[in-house]
Amino acid sequence: MIAKDNFFKVKHLYNRAGFGISYTDLEKLSKKNLEKTVDRLIETSQKDDPIALVNDYESKRQLLAQAGLYSKKDLTDEEKKMRQQIVREQNEVSRDLNIAFVNKMINTDAPLREKMTLFWHGHFACRNNNPFFAQQLNNIQRANALGSFKTLLVEVSKAPAMLQYLNNQQNRKGKPNENFARELMELFTLGRGNYTEQDIKESARSFTGWMYDKDGSFIFRKNLHDDGTKTFFGKIGNFEGEHIIDIILEKPQTAQFIAQKVYKFFVNDTPNDAHIKELATTFYNSKYNIAAMMKKMFTSDWFYASENVGTKIKSPAEFLVGLSREFYVTYNKPQVLIQLQSSLGQYLFNPPNVAGWPGGQSWIDSSSLMLRMRIPSLVLNDGEIDFSGKADPEDEAVIALSRTATSNANANNKPKSYVNANADWPKFLNTLPKGLTPLALTEFLLQPKLNTKITSMVSDNKGLRSTAVEITSMPEYQLC
């Protein structure tokens, strides 16, 4: 009974803190003390394994070439071609980077670190056409995923991807651009309503001169920095960016704001003030140690309370990664992963805006739910899917270029594509104990408690493989 109770707790822990767990591992860990399991989860996620897809040297060469081309007024045909070529290459590498991140989540042996990276990916939401910058930001989020929030915040603030996205590159002495300063407080640390417009103005002045140079490294340009006196939250000084970040972190509201977001991501869409307060206090008292807050959460009884188990709607990334990880899926045409993300409303590296994906019930509408319920049979049974949905606005220029007069009439009739994926069924079935019943498999694959309808739908005379496809196609599988 105790082992069974632990079985469900460990399963819940690995679904929320990671992307699921194999039956073999689950059985093993169910026999251990839960707190030790949490320690092990954090321990195994200590290793930081960055994405090293984008070639540093090649990217710098492209950046320099682009800078050269942008400064020229009239380009020759040759130069125009070169510029287009660079953009094409960057778009292609950006797609590869997206797939690399998804594959990392699918295959990682540091699940908590990847899950936290996904969390920070949404928290510090950023779009950047340059894949080298995008990879760098993703790696900053991964490297600091469980470390010091202060280090994470400073590094994100200095990352060229963010400097460009939030226009700090244009933030100069005498001509401040407030975009970064505003989002720093509204979305990254304090939350709306916890600062004044004056605080934004003064902090924007403090971040003047935070830029990146033409080969893509952070640089503090003293000559563009406003070194005058600033008044920020009642403090007066010749503040620079780091000082502003320090003052923001002195405020317990920052710990409160992050704790609330973590709670909503890992525990429940509906905030529980008392539980969030516990997390915020731990976070603040540990000087913003992220792992300490996570451990507090995963070892709290309320984390395993029934209202917090099997009640959260999986994000598209959690859904796709979880399914692929569980069944050892290989995508022969990885491009399909991008189409699926885009159709389901979470195209990684392309958040809707700097506020990130709203999450919760906003993931679900009639079309996204119908697609979600079909994906398991498409991925696990290799079906065909019709992707003729609308284009991403950023792809409009490419569409405009690639369309010819004759193809225009059929512009909305893109070809159907096969998912072309393979689940490793023998490997999956091998992880299951001998004689496991379809009902027991159902209990393993679904997070919500089984009800009579499901138990009656799952009959014992069906094979495990059929049962698995059926179960993952249920609305209950959308929850974790």
Residues 397-416 that bind other proteins (CB under 8 A): 397, 399-401, 403, 405, 408-413, 416
Based on CB atoms, which residue is closest to other proteins, 291 or 441?
Answer: 441
CB of 422 to other proteins, least distance (A): 15
**Residue ranges in 4-43 that form contacts with other proteins under rule CB under 8 A:** none
**Residue ranges in 145-184 that form contacts with other proteins under rule CB under 8 A:** 182
CB of 343 to other proteins, least distance (A): 6
Among 312, 329, 331, 346, binds other proteins (CB under 8 A): 312
Among 221, 355, 424, 437, binds other proteins (CB under 8 A): 355
Contacts 24+ apart (CB under 8 A), 60-64: 60/132, 60/215, 60/216, 62/86, 62/89, 62/90, 63/130, 63/132, 63/214, 63/215, 63/216, 64/214, 64/215
Is residue 439 a contact residue for other proteins (CB under 8 A)? no
Based on CB atoms, which residue is closest to other proteins, 61 or 449?
Answer: 449
Based on CB atoms, which residue is closest to other proteins, 274 or 405?
Answer: 405
Based on CB atoms, which residue is closest to other proteins, 160 or 345?
Answer: 345
Q: For residue 417, which phi and psi values (nearest 5 degrees)? A: -130, 150
The token duo for 142 is 């991964």
Is residue 361 a contact residue for other proteins (CB under 8 A)? yes
Is residue 50 a contact residue for other proteins (CB under 8 A)? no
| Alpha-helical runs (H) found in 166-224 | 179-183, 197-206
Query: What is the C-alpha to C-alpha distance for residues 150 and 156, in angstroms, rounded to an integer?
Result: 10
Q: What is the DSSP string of 339-379?
A: HHHHHHT--TT--SSTT----GGGG--HHHHHHHHHHHHHH
Is residue 381 a contact residue for other proteins (CB under 8 A)? yes
Query: What is the C-alpha to C-alpha distance for residues 7 and 149, in angstroms, rounded to an integer?
Result: 32
**Residue ranges in 260-289 that form contacts with other proteins under rule CB under 8 A:** 269-270
Q: State the binding string over 64-93 for other proteins (x if CB under 8 A, else -).
A: ---------xxx----x-------------
Q: What is the DSSP string of 130-176?
A: -HHHHHHHHHHHHHTTTSBHHHHHHHHHH-HHHHHHTTGGG-BTTB-
Task: Give the binding range for other proteins (CB under 8 A) out of 11-19, 320-328, 365-373, 429-437.
Answer: 365-373
Is residue 371 a contact residue for other proteins (CB under 8 A)? yes
Is 2 in contact with 9 (CB distance < 8 Å)?
Answer: no
Among 4, 78, 370, 433, binds other proteins (CB under 8 A): 370
